Chain A
Amino acid sequence: MRISIEDVHFVYPGGVEALRGVSLSIEPGERVAIVGQNGAGKTTLVKHLNGLLRPTRGRVRIGDWDTAQVEVHRLAQRVGYVFQNPDGQLFCRTVAEEVAFGPRNLGYTPEEISQRVAEALALAELEDKAEANPYDLSPSWRKMVALASVIAMDTPIVIFDEPTTGQDVRTIRRIERMIEMLSQRGKTILTITHDIDFCAENFERVVVMGQGRVLLDGPKEMVLGMEAILAQTYVEPPQLTRLGMRLGFEKTVCTSEQFLETLRRRLDHPQSDPRAEG
């Protein structure tokens, strides 16, 4: 299911101009990260994809649907969205009910529902908390419940708004496994994140936003190396990318595999003085 955003402008009722002409198109099955400074308009943009906000000007299309014409609850068949703020997002008495809420509304059969719920709980490692009240869980587990309850909807497009904030490494690994699994099933995944290392390690395409506009959009190896433009919107390249730059690597490296590979190659061919390069 293709996402197409055409010159979208959005002004909040108070007068804040949050989007000033955003155009993007995202193909089915892509893994896209959106980064950019606080207040850049990232959350505002993704709320347009499931119809919570409607463009003041411009158009958003999900497949053949124009989001301005389709109600939010119907868009939920195509787009799952995990909110940035975990409060208010959960409203059921138990974790199991919470996770089943979406699938039930989407009209799956009872067998399908229980299968999807079981699977989502397993992926989020929430099985032992299925009967707990979401409000009794710690914030980091609440976020996992929110993730699970959206994944269980099995929509072709899944959006995460800052999934890793406040999470420890193990939980981040768990989220990475979820993303990997969704990706293998051909889902389109959009994630907003300030964790630029997480972005570099898990996404192919990176969209950089600043002041309501898209500043950069492309493969991460291209985008994450552009230090000057990133700095305009308060983003720094990932740790290993910066290390690679310091060492004079020609290519932008994003992951430790890429880093070590480049390092080995340079050590095998030491004719080029590292400091004389780039």
Chain B
Amino acid sequence: MVERLSFYLERSSPLHRLNPTTKLVVAFTLILVAFLGPGLLLPSLIFLLILTPLSFVGQVGREFLRTTVRLLLPLFAFLFVMQSLFYPGGKTVLFGFWIFSVKLEGVRFAFLTATRVLVMVSSFLLLLFTTHPGVLLLDLTQRGLPASVAYILASTLQIIPQMQAKAATILDAQRSRGLDTSGSLGRRIRALLPLVGPLVFGSLVDVEERAIAIEARGFRSSRPKTSLVEIEDRPLERALRWLCLLAIILALGSRLWP
């Protein structure tokens, strides 16, 4: 069974109260600036001076740091090893051992790439941690996203946990009837095989039942829709969004006219 369907963490922070679109725009801006902007240190500064403090303002600092590290550490390790050793055209050898030599250009490139990815992933995490997915979609709907697209997005957000839950149920049923799902890899794969059919088939049945269920709740009703939650949008936030646009243009400019 699923306990949590999203990354969202309920808190009452200023960040939570921001309009979801503002947060989405800020996230995109930070990512674009990190990728387009000048300087080796820019992305890491964005992470350290903007994203991390913001996560504490949003009262999700610990979860934010923990999840970021957990998601990215393996990737970073891989990136550094590969790039610092095999970066093409590296000249400045920092140190060498056996047949390998670690080159400065490689380390620089790895660092830049890694910190850019860091900004990309962590901005989205922060957005997801502090924004109720339903509210985000609702806001987008009110800004013109079609309701059916919003529904598809909302239900896809839930498909993974639902599939997981379904797989867990089938697995529970199989274990309860004596199927050994632990042990060697071969055994585990063999244990997984009987799961695929019912999972796919069961999900198809689900899709049909779900379609009937939402129909019965007036989903395709021709009346104009309303929403349970009200989304604030203050003038200050609108100004902030314009500022973001400006930042993106500046970053783009720095790239075009260095």
A residues whose Cβ falls under 8 Å from a Cβ of B = 12-14, 50, 52, 71-73, 76-77, 80-81, 83, 85, 87-93, 101-102, 105-106, 135, 149-150, 153
**Which DSSP category, helix, strand, loop or mixed, fits chain B's interface?**
helix
Structural contact, A81 and B176, CB atoms closer than 8 A = yes
> Within the complex, what minimum Cβ distance (angstroms) separates A99 from chain B?
10
B3 contacts which of A13, A73, A87, A89 (Cβ < 8 Å)?
A13
Beyond the given pairs A89-B173, A91-B197, A105-B177, 16 more chain A to chain B contacts, judged by CB atoms under 8 angstroms and listed by A's residue number, are: A50-B176, A72-B175, A73-B179, A73-B180, A73-B181, A76-B175, A88-B198, A88-B202, A89-B169, A90-B198, A91-B170, A101-B179, A102-B177, A105-B180, A106-B178, A153-B177
Q: Which residues of A contact B222 (CB under 8 A)?
A: none
- Give the distance in Å from the alpha carbon of A24 to the alpha carbon of B148 in the complex: 51
A146 closest partner in B (C-beta): B173
Between A and B, 25 residue pairs with Cβ closer than 8 Å are A12-B1, A12-B3, A14-B3, A14-B4, A52-B172, A52-B176, A72-B172, A73-B175, A73-B178, A76-B176, A76-B177, A83-B173, A85-B169, A87-B202, A88-B169, A88-B198, A91-B195, A91-B197, A93-B197, A102-B178, A105-B177, A105-B178, A105-B179, A135-B205, A153-B178
Q: Which residue of B lies closest to A106 (CB)?
A: B178
Please report the number of residue pairs spanning A and B whose Cβ atoms sit closer than 8 angstroms: 71
Bound-state Cα–Cα, A268 to B220, Å: 68
B166 contacts A91, CB within 8 Å?
no
Distance, CA A243 to CA B121, complexed state (A): 67
By beta carbon, the residue of chain B nearest A149 is B177
How many angstroms between the C-alpha atoms of A52 and B202 in the bound complex? 21
Closest 9 CB pairs of A and B: A105-B178, A91-B198, A14-B3, A102-B177, A76-B178, A88-B169, A72-B175, A73-B180, A89-B173
CA–CA, A91 and B178, complex, Å: 14
Closest to B172 in A: A52
The residues of B that contact A89 with a CB separation of less than 8 Å are 169, 173
A71 lies within 8 A of B170 (CB):
no
Q: Interface residues of B, CB < 8 Å — how many?
A: 24
Taking the complex as formed, is B44 at the interface, i.e. its CB lies under 8 A from any CB of chain A?
no
Max count, chain A CB within 10 A of own CB: residue among B169, B177, B180: B177
Q: Name the residue on A nearest B199 (C-beta).
A: A91
Closest residue of chain B to A71 (Cβ to Cβ) is: B182
Chain B residues lying within 8 Å of A102, measured Cβ to Cβ, are 177-178
Contact, CB under 8 Å: A72 / B205: no
For the complex formed, measure the closest distance between the CB of A76 and the CB atoms of chain B, giving whole angstroms: 4
Interface centre among B166, B179, B182, B202 (most CB of A within 10 A): B179
Cα distance, A135 to B206, chains bound together (Å):
12
Nearest CB in chain B to that of A98: its residue = B177
CA distance A87 to B175 in the complex (A): 16
Contacts of A71 in B (CB 8 A): 175, 180, 182
| Contact call B176/A91, Cβ cutoff below 8 A | no
Task: Name B205's closest neighbour in chain A (CB-CB).
Answer: A135
B97 within 8 A of A: no
A81 to B177, CA, bound (A): 8
Residues from chain A with Cβ under 8 Å of B201 in the complex: 135
